[in-house]
Amino acid sequence: MTVISQPTLEVLKNFCAINKSIVIKPGNTISTLSLNKNILAIAKVEEQFESQISIYDLGVFIGGLNTLDAPKIDTTNDNYVTVSDSSGIYKSRFFYADPDIITQPPEREITLPSEDVKFRLRSVDLDKLQRVASIYSLSDLCLVGFKGNMELQLTDKKNDTSNSFSVNVGQTDDEFCYCFKVENLKLIKGDYNVTVSKKNVALFEGEMIKYFIALEPNA
C-alpha cells in the first residue's frame, strides 16, 4: 500500500492539464507528454510506486483520491488499482487502461540540443504573467534580448495593436526573440531555472520537477 501525499496530488493535477491520461511507471518518477508532443513534464515524488498504473481519465482518478483522507493505493491486482482511506473503511476500484492507447513520454533521457539563453523565472513573476495573460487575453509569451536587457513579453503576435506586458529577467549582450504559446506554459507554482535552445525547445527546471516546452516559430 502506498500513501499518496498532497504534493504528489498537486503534480498529478498539473499533469492532468497536460494530458488527461497517464501511465505511472514503477519507481519514484512520474512523467507525462501532451497529445501534441510539445510539452514533456517529469517529476520526482516521495512515493515509490511498485507497479505500473495506467489511468485513462486522470481527472476522475484525482477526484477519487481527493474524496479520501490520506488516500492509499494498492496495485497488487493486475487489472485495477484499489484506492482506500487511512482507516480502510472506504475503497474505490479503478480499472487500468490499455497503456498502448495513451500518449507516453519516450523511455530515453531527454536533453536540450543546445543551451543558448539562461535566466531565472521567479514564482511571483510566473504568477503575474499567467494572471495578466488571462486578463488581457494574450496568447504569446516571448523572451526578448534587446539593448542589453532580457525581458519576458506578453503579446498577441497576430495583432499589432494588442495590449502587452513585460517583466525584466536579466541582462544580455545578445539580441534574440524566442516565443511560447501561453497555453503551453502549464507550470506548477514555483521558481524555475530556464534554459532556451535556439533549436525550438526550452527547459524549465524547478524543485523536483522539470518541463521541456516547444518554442513557436517566429514567422
* Per-residue pLDDT tens digits for 87-145: 889 999 999 999 999 999 998 889 999 999 999 999 999 999 999 999 999 999 999 99
Residue 37 lies in a domain: yes
State yes or no: pLDDT of 217 exceeds 80: yes
Residue 110 lies in a domain: no
Of 101, 133, 161, which residue constitutes the final position of a domain? 101
Residue 109 lies in a domain: no
Of 70, 101, 132, which residue constitutes the final position of a domain? 101
**Structurally, how many domains does the chain consist of?**
2
Per-residue pLDDT at 190? 96
Query: Structural domain of residue 147, as residue ranges?
Result: 117-214
Q: State whether 88 and 131 are in the same domain.
A: no
State yes or no: pLDDT of 219 exceeds 70: no
Q: How confident is the model at residue 35 (pLDDT cuts 50, 70, 90)?
A: very high
Mean pLDDT computed over 185-202:
96
Per-residue pLDDT at 160? 85
Q: State whether 89 and 167 are in the same domain.
A: no
The model carries a pTM of 0.93
Mean pLDDT estimate for the chain: 94
Q: Alpha-carbon distance 178 to 114, whole Å?
A: 14
